[in-house]
Structure 1
Amino acid sequence: MLTNDLSMDLQVIAETWLDTFARATLSGDVLATVQTFLPDGYLRDQLVLTWDLRSLEGHDKIKEYLVPRLTAAHLSHFRPDTRAGYCAERSTKGGVGAAFTFETPHCYGRGYVRLLQDTSSGQWKALSVFLGVADIKGYEELGREPGHYGGHTLSWTDIFAERRRQIERDPYVIVIGAGHNGLNTAARLKHWNIPTLVIEKNDKVGDQWRERYPTLSLHSIRHFSHFSYQQYPDTWPEFAPRDKMADWQEQYVKTQDLVVWTRSTILPGAHYDTIRKRWTLVVDHAGTRVELHPAHVVSAVGSMGPPRMPHVPERACFDGVVIHSGAYPGGAPYVGKHVVVVGACQSAADICQDLAFRGAASVTMVQRSSTCVVDISTGAGGEHVLFPDDVPIDVCDLKFQSLPINLNRRLTLEEADLEWEREKELHAKLRRGGLKLNMGKDGSGHVFLIYERLGGWDFGLADYIASGRVKVKQGVEVKQFTADGVMFNDSSSLPADVVIFATGWLGNRESLKEIFGTEIVDSTGVPWGLDDEGEISNTYRPTGHPGLWYAVGDFGTARFLSKLLALQIKATQIGILRTAERTL
């Protein structure tokens, strides 16, 4: 009988369920294991049963997944995690959430369960169960060093110089790109004692930020956006601005003892030896060619490739300036100018606001379809609930990442009407100016657009649109240039001195084809986006080609999943993971 009574000790509820779950899994009893889940419950597995990232929904799919795997996994030593922040607490839909630990023959694991009472039996069953590898036995994460070497006879300068020479001579992993994904990955790999070299094309680490428009800032809060092993100071801005983020990344290389080659690129012609399981590639390192043979290459060049610049006829007849948003230098050069911004993405919104504020004569945003826009306080408010400042980041990460994305979407859809109501005032301003709005492709809001194609935030553009300082041209596309502006496919036109295409970027695999060739790159899946199970596709997980990985995502994704990538590479290095095992 369903009671909704949480008066009994939450820890007792969690431990009673864990005992039942542990006995079922230890004995390899798939049916008994499945019965610990609600009929529409989820199992999220990260590297435990397949060395991949999987999410299964419902009894039938969980059973199908476990039948060939559960016995072979030898899950054991389940224990409740009673440390502060991990012990049982009220959780999703008024149920109970709790962390636990377990082991496999090769690994230490950690888990998290969300429990609800079954409506038919009144028993506490799992809405979701998360199982993840935390470490590899005998090859544990290194952690901090003592700080004195050779019996206090060697200096740190000499120690690091020798380590650097060894890595530069024979890296086991090469990471392409020194952005937040590349640096988090390199730091994780270092702490699993994996020689890693980062290749960065720019003159300095952080330049990829410094080259963007001046008003760029993070749209995620400080506590969500920490780097692995190194949190921002308490005085750090809630939304980190461009130049501070650039400087942070530059210092992170030094404080984390990472080895980075700047002004360096991998030349075309890289190839993979399937027998030796090593790459052969040549790096142009500041003008010197160096041949290297890593076992793994991690592409951390971001989710975006070259700028997507639409072909618009009659470009030569236009007397003004045409640039992509990636080359936008800030609004100062365009004071007194008539500017058309093609696109309604986040960059377009930032640029339009900046232009209007700086004194452009007119600013028009061209919106082809519809856009999901929420107030920055909405996004920040949600992140503060999940990542409160007074809770350690590792605790926040486990609870956030343990929730299957498809389950999160389902729970969000149950409150879709509230999402629209929350943005009522903001949306009224935007509609007044002609902007067409949506709340995601299925009404689930901005969060899931981040996984699919990035959503939109509002830092103040709505007021500019409502007042007419930024105008919206909706439902049209630029058909051609004219001598003094642009004409649209509805035969209307606008005068323009400057046209800025905020039309996004080509896929990040395009530039890799120059290095690895089309055949190798096409054998990999497209990174980012969601697969059928609601897991991020081909990102920090197998891509389809051995030894080639993609590291893509926001700051929270990079921090959490970079550890899983390090574990996969370490397991491959020591021989407990072979490619065939991924499909078991």
Structure 2
Amino acid sequence: MSDTTAVPSFDHRAVMGDWVAAFDCALSTGDTRAVAGLLGADPWWRDLYALRWDISTLRGAVDICEFLDERLAASGFREVRLDDRHAVSFPEETYIEAVINFTTRVGTRSGVVRLLSDKSGAWRAWTISTSLQELTDRPFQQVKISDIEQDAATASAMSAEGEARHAAGGSRGRAQADDLNPSVLIIGAGHCGLFLAAHLKRLGITTLLVDRNKQVGDNWRHRYHGLVLHEPKWSAQFPYMSFPETWPLLPNKDMIADWMEAYARFLDLRVWTAAEVTEAVYDTVSGSWTVVVDRGRQRCVLSTKQLVFATGNHGVPQLPDIAGAADFTGTMTHSSEHQGGPSLRGLDVVVVGSGSSALDVAQDACDQGAHVTLVQRGPTHVVSQRAAIPAFHGAYYGESGPSIEEADLMATSMPTRLTFELIPHLTRSLAEADSELLFGLEEAGFATTLGPDDLGIMYMTFVRAGGYYLDRGGAQLIIGGRIAVRRAQIERLTATEVVFEDGMRVHADMVVCCTGYTNMRDAARPILGDEVTERLATVWGLDDSGELRTAFRHCGHDRLWFLAGGFRDARIYSRYVALAITAVEAGIVDSASLAAASATTVKG
């Protein structure tokens, strides 16, 4: 972390060093009252699988000290030190920030401490984060120069295995013995599944990915034309295999699809493609899952200890129930199945929805020469990419940013609920920067919003899971009149028209419904059955502490996980899930204790 701020009138490094020493002393004696004296007026603590096998946020000295009273002795939290690899910084001369290292009974950890000066001039903790980095007894495997001493026969056997797999069609070859009894079975070989499998491979855990697409990457390859990442490439990096420096700021869908396919091959991940999991039953006695996989002509029954759903943070596509849909002679589809492209030229396209997918689909159709009408059912939070990307990603994820490891540590150190309290100011600042754009949209009949309490993109992402748009050109097409906007409800369809409740009719050759999805757990229902699914928490949304519910956390059912999120979050949080799964498989923690630690996630 580079320290480019002005030199303060005091030694901020010494201040942080003194605080860390006092903090370590209080912990070593179990004196949580002394810890309370080191906390500010409104302190926050975010723990990511370090002291408790869950993601937790504590606010206030009372809750933090109760947490420490409960977890201090059991976790063995001790030996807190400044990490000398990272500079102690003084951002805008507002707070002092430093990276810390510490140990526990089961592994090594890192964290971030931020100090604020109180009215008396004393520097006390504003935020503390603690995160699990590695298990002492099951470290991440690393290639070493001493590996040259590896037995030649072992090396030859490994080479022969790789050649055999390649000859058999790589990931699409016949079922092998290791495939039929993996420790972990992951449903879905999108980025969440791939990242988790990569981490587990380094931890020595046998893992099989099962995906119904013909090729890894098809979940991006077959999306609508014109789709690009909505975050800069540095934020979306894959673990252990970074994008080339020559890639554009926002890689397109085909680049991502091909990278995912190469990732699975180069990291030698076991993947069954063109395969679908049809049933999974848990045996409480053996603590294992029996999983049925349909591979076309082959029906396979597998046994696995841990089952992971990595099918995206959406469930089943939701198509609106529109009267007359059966009479419509054009094409009506959900955005998840829409590909767009040159075939749209000259068509009358009606896009239902006004979030990111809807605006992307509308922009592509317009660029292809279609006549586009956008049906807006509610106001949309709009931020230009020009304003949003530097504001949300520039501090850590850019061409001159820190290492991806440090960036991820810093980015996850702020509690989500605290970010919610800070975000309204940024939301209003971005709206001011985009004032001309937002005014133009309103004048064109497109309704915008800053979200409840000006929470902007944080609310739309973590609570609503939609309803926002990072503008990359679609807004100007609306302002310029090339995309027409209708803010009326659809009454019915005729053979060739969309009829609105106000009586207006729009000719349509195609209706694309960008109308969202059911909850992710509904994707598990056909596999797990109604009885199990109904006992699961919903996936996504915030729990009482402000953390995402269920995603990358225990879901309340033994040895069952759900992974969902964008590239950055998947890269970061899949590592914690991999460590938790490994801890269970290695006997470091029993699965019942892990479920109990995250019992709050099953609420809601």
Partner residue in 2 for 1:144: 143
- Distance in 2 (CA, whole Å) between partners of 1:440 and 1:550 is 28
Partner of 1:387: 397
Partner Cα separation in structure 1 for residue 180 and residue 387 of structure 2 = 49
Offset of 1:64 from its aligned partner? 3.2
Q: 1:157 & 1:285 partners in 2: Cα distance?
A: 27
- 8 Å CA contact 1:368–1:477 kept in 2: the answer is yes
Please say which of residues 194-203 and 281-290 is displaced more in the overlay: 281-290
* Residues 1:240 and 2:251 are matched in the alignment: yes
Once residues 201 and 132 of structure 2 are traced to their aligned partners in structure 1, the CA distance between those partners, rounded to angstroms, is 18
Aligned counterpart for 1:335 among listed residues 328, 334, 345: 345
| 2:234 corresponding residue in structure 1 | 223
1:185-264 aligned at under 5 Å gives the runs: 185-264=196-275
Q: CA distance change for structure 1 residues 388 and 359 in 2, over 3 Å: closer, same or farther?
A: closer
Q: Is the 8 A contact 1:89 1:97 kept in 2?
A: yes
How far is 1:447 from its partner?
4.0
Q: Report if the CA contact (8 A) 2:108-2:134 is conserved.
A: yes
1:525 to 520, 537, 540: 537
Q: Which deviates more from structure 2 when the two are superposed, residues 27-36 or residues 400-409?
A: 27-36
Whole-angstrom distance in 2 between the partners of 1:260 and 1:344: 36
Q: Deviations over 1:171-220 (max 9, x none)?
A: 00001111110000000011111100010111110111111112111010
Cα offset, 1:9, TM superposition: 2.4
Runs of 4+ in 1 over 6 A off after TM superposition: 161-164
Following superposition, the deviation at residue 5 of structure 1 comes to 9.4
Cα distance, 1:148 vs structure 2: 5.3
What is the aligned partner in structure 2 of residue 116 from structure 1?
116
Aligned counterparts of 1:409 and 1:264: Cα–Cα separation in 2: 41
Q: Are the equivalent residues in 2 in contact too, given 1:38–1:127 (CA < 8 A)?
A: yes
Check if 1:184 corresponds to 2:183.
Answer: no
Cα deviations by residue, 1:435-482 (Å, 9 ceiling, x for unpaired): 1111233312224422231431111112111111111112x2212112
Contact 2:180 2:303 in 1 (8 A): no
Task: Name the counterpart of 2:107.
Answer: 107
SS at match of 1:301: coil
Residue 31 of structure 1 and its aligned partner are, at CA, apart by 2.1
Unaligned runs of 5+ in 2: 1-5, 166-170, 598-604
Q: Which residue is equivalent to 1:97?
A: 97
Match of 1:48 in 2: 50
1:273 is aligned to 2:283? yes
Change (3 A) 1:79 1:220: same
**Match among 393, 411, 420 for residue 431 of structure 2:** 420
Other-structure match for 1:359: 369
- How far the C-alpha of 1:386 sits from its partner, in A, is 2.4
* Whole-Å separation in 2 of the counterparts to 1:369 and 1:139: 50
Structure 1 residues 267-301: Cα deviation after superposition (integer angstroms, max 9, x where no partner): 23x21111211001122234312221111011000
Could you tell me which of 330, 334, 342 is aligned with 1:320? 330
- Pairs within 5 Å for 1:366-445: 366-382=375-391, 383-390=393-400, 391-445=402-456
SS in 2 for 1:535: coil
- Pick closer, same or farther for the CA change 1:193–1:206 going to 2, 3 Å: same
Q: Which amino acid aligns with 1:568?
A: A
The separation in 1 between residues aligned to 2:59 and 2:253, in whole angstroms, is 40
Q: What is the match of residue 471 of structure 2?
A: 458
3-state SS of paired residue (2:326): helix
Aligned mate of 1:478, from 490, 498, 503? 490
- Are positions 1:550 and 2:562 aligned together? yes
CA distance in 2 between counterparts of 1:507 and 1:245 reads 25
Runs of 5+ in structure 1 lacking a partner?
A: none
CA distance in 1, matches of 2:451, 2:207: 39
* Residues 46 and 53, structure 1, Cα contact 8 Å, conserved in 2: yes
Deviates more, 1:155-164 or 1:447-456: 155-164
2:141 is equivalent to residue 131 of structure 1: no
**Structure 2 CA distance for aligned equivalents of residues 97 and 162 of structure 1:** 52
In structure 2, relative to structure 1, the CA distance for the partners of 1:250 and 1:148 (3 Å cut) is: farther
Instruction: Report how far residue 17 of structure 1 moved.
Output: 1.1
What count of residue pairs does the alignment treat as equivalent? 575
Contact 2:388-2:430 at 8 Å conserved across structures: no
Q: Say which is worse superposed, 323-332 or 146-155, in terms of deviation.
A: 146-155
Give 1:122's aligned amino acid.
G
C-alpha deviation, 1:415, in angstroms: 4.0
Give SS of 2:453's match: coil
Task: Give the CA deviation at 1:21.
Answer: 1.3
Q: Write the letter of the residue equivalent to 2:386.
A: S
Does the CA-based 8 Å contact 1:26-1:74 persist in structure 2? Answer: no
Q: In the TM superposition, what is the alpha-carbon distance from 1:370 to its structure 2 partner?
A: 0.6
For residues 93 and 490 of structure 2, the distance between their equivalents in structure 1, rounded to whole angstroms, comes to: 47
Partner AA of 1:107 in structure 2: G
Q: Provide the residue aligned with 1:20 in structure 2.
A: 22
Say if 2:589 is the partner of 1:568.
no
Give the share of equivalent positions with the same residue, in percent. 33
What secondary structure, in the 3-state scheme, does the structure 2 residue paired with 1:381 have?
helix
CA drift of 1:149 comes to: 7.6
1:253 is displaced (CA, Å) by: 0.8
- 1:26-65 equivalent positions in 2, closer than 5 A: 26-65=28-67
Between 1:490-499 and 1:272-281, the stretch displaced more is 490-499
| Greater mean alpha carbon deviation, residues 496-505 or residues 4-13 | 4-13
CA distance in 1, matches of 2:328, 2:277: 38
Does structure 1 conserve the Cα–Cα contact (< 8 Å) formed by 2:89 and 2:96?
yes
Question: In structure 1, what is the equivalent of residue 601 of structure 2?
Answer: none
Secondary structure, aligned partner of 1:438: coil
Query: Offset of 1:529 from its aligned partner?
Result: 2.2
Q: Map Cα deviations across residues 483-526 of structure 1 (whole Å, 9 max, x no partner).
A: 33122233433222221111112222223111111122222212
CA drift at 1:101: 0.5
Distance (whole Å) between structure 2 residues aligned to residue 205 and residue 246 of structure 1: 7
